[in-house]
Amino acid sequence: MLKQIEGSRAVAEAVALCRPEVICAYPISPQTHIVEALGEFVKDGTLAPCEFINVESEFAAMSVAIGSSAAGARTYTATASQGLLFMAEAVYNASGLGLPIVMTVANRAIGAPINIWNDHSDALSQRDSGWLQIFAETNQEALDLHIQAFRLAEELSLPIMVCMDGFILTHAYERVDMPTQAQVDAYLPKYEPRQVLDPAEPVSIGAMVGPEAFMEVRYLAHAKQMEALKLIPGYAAEFREVFGRDSGGLTHTYKADDAETMVVAMGSLLGTIKDVIDEMRAAGHKIGVLGITLFRPFPIAQVREALHGAQRVVVLEKSLAVGLGGILATNVRMALSALPIDVYTVVAGIGGRPITMRSLHALFREAERDDIDPVTFLDLNHDVVDKQLARERSTRRSGPAAEAILRDIGVVAAKVAQEVR
C-alpha cells in the first residue's frame, strides 16, 4: 500500500509488521519518532502481544534487549549517536553472545561539540562490535531493510544495525510502499533461537573464556559474519519475489559500466550523488557510483569487482577517522589493494553540513583532474579554521575552539547549535 509518511513512521510500521515481541525505548534524537510510533502501536493494541519497555538509558535498552533475545523473543530497539556510545559495552556483548537483536541507528554526529544532526560517526564507531551493519538510501529501503534485517539476524544469530540518516530520512515525508502483514509473514519465518534460556535445558550463557578458547570464539564470530555475504543476495532475491521490488543486497552500482571515475558512498547521500552523476553523464563525463548497503561484513569482493575498472575512486563519507582520514575509504582501499587506482577520501556532510549538488559537481570535476587532496574536507571553511589555529598559536589560554568558531561565524548559527537532543 502506498503511503506518504514520515520515514520514522514508515520504519515503525515495518518493524511492527515483523511482530517484535519486546521493544525497548529510550529517547534520543533523531530516532525518537520510531519508538514513539511503536509505543503507540503497543499501547493501542495494534501490536500485540508485545512488551514496550521505557528504559532508563541506552545501556539499559541494549541490556533489556539482550535479556529478551536470550529468552527467545524477537527484540527491537533504536538509538543514535551518544546513545549508541552509551550502550557500547552492551552492543559488543549482544554480538558476543550471538543474540539477533535488530536495532535502528538514526545516524547522528557524536560530540563534543554536541550536535544532533546527521553523519555516520555513530554507526561507524561500532564497526568492529560484531554487529551486522546495513545502510538505507531511502525511506522505502529503510523499511524494507528492517524486514530483511530480522530474517538475516535470526538466521545467523547475530545482531544487526539498520542505519538510516537522521532527519534526512527519519524526519522526511516520502511516499513508501508499505507491505501487507501477509507479505511480511510470508517472508519472515517465526524466530527459532539457536540458544535460549529454558528450564527444560538449563544451559549457562555467557561463560568466562580464557586464552585457551577466546581466539576461536572471535574467529567464529568473524566467520559467521562472513556468511552474511552469501545469504544476503538470496534474501534480496526472495524479497523481490514476495514484495515485487529490489531492496537491500550488498552493493549497488549506478551508471558504472564505463566509468573512469567511481564515487563510493553510503546512505541517503547516494540520491544527491546520483542526481549529480546524471547531470555529469549528460555532459559526457564517464562517472558512476557504487552504493554500499552492507558495511559489516564489508563486501570486499563486490566492491573490488565494481571498482576495478575505474581509474580513480572518490569515497564520499559522512565520517572522519581523526588522525587518518576516512573510515569507509580505508575499507574501500583494502578492497582495492594492489590495484593501480587512486582512492580519494572526501569527508563530507559531518554534523549535518548540507552536501549540495553544486559542491559535488565541483568536487567530481576536480577529482576527474586528480586535482584534490588525498583527504579532502568538502566545503570546509578554511578561513575559520585558519583563524582558530592562529589564535591557538598566539594565545596559550585560547579557550574552547567550538565556541570561538561559533563567535567567528555568527549568532544565528550558534542558536541552531544550541538545540540539543
Residues that bind other proteins (CB under 8 A): 21-22, 24, 49-51, 53-57, 59-60, 62-73, 75, 89-90, 93, 96-98, 157, 194-199, 201-210, 212-214, 216-217, 220
Per-residue buried b or exposed e for 68-96, using 16+ beta carbons within 10 Å of the residue's own CB: bbbeebbbbbbbbbbbbbbbbebbbbbbb
Q: Which is nearer to other proteins, 21 or 408 (CB)?
A: 21
Per-residue buried b or exposed e for 234-262, using 16+ beta carbons within 10 Å of the residue's own CB: ebbeebeebbeeebbbbbbbbbbeebebb
- Least gap, CB of 220 to other proteins (angstroms): 6
Q: Which is nearer to other proteins, 160 or 316 (CB)?
A: 160
- Least gap, CB of 232 to other proteins (angstroms): 22
Residue 72 pairs in a beta bridge with none
3-state secondary structure of 173: strand
- Least gap, CB of 30 to other proteins (angstroms): 23
- Least gap, CB of 201 to other proteins (angstroms): 6
Q: Which is nearer to other proteins, 90 or 335 (CB)?
A: 90
Do 18 and 180 meet the contact criterion of CB atoms below 8 Å apart?
no
Q: Which three cell numbers stand for residue 245?
A: 521490488
Q: How far apart are CA 232 and CA 218, in angstroms?
A: 22
Q: Which is nearer to other proteins, 205 or 237 (CB)?
A: 205
Q: Which is nearer to other proteins, 64 or 85 (CB)?
A: 64
Q: How far apart are CA 415 and CA 12, in angstroms?
A: 31
- Least gap, CB of 54 to other proteins (angstroms): 7
- Least gap, CB of 13 to other proteins (angstroms): 20
Contacts of 248 (CB under 8 A, 6+ apart): 134, 141, 144, 145, 148, 232, 235, 236, 239, 293
- Least gap, CB of 160 to other proteins (angstroms): 17
Q: Which three cell numbers stand for residue 186?
A: 510470508
- Least gap, CB of 184 to other proteins (angstroms): 17
Q: Which is nearer to other proteins, 204 or 394 (CB)?
A: 204
Do 343 and 373 meet the contact criterion of CB atoms below 8 Å apart?
no
Q: Which is nearer to other proteins, 220 or 226 (CB)?
A: 220
The angle at the Cα of 191, spanning 188 to 197, to the nearest 5 degrees, equals 170
Q: Which is nearer to other proteins, 64 or 250 (CB)?
A: 64
DSSP code string of 340-398: --EEEEEE-SGGG----HHHHHHHHHHHHTT-S-SEEETT--HHHHHHHHHHHHH-SS-
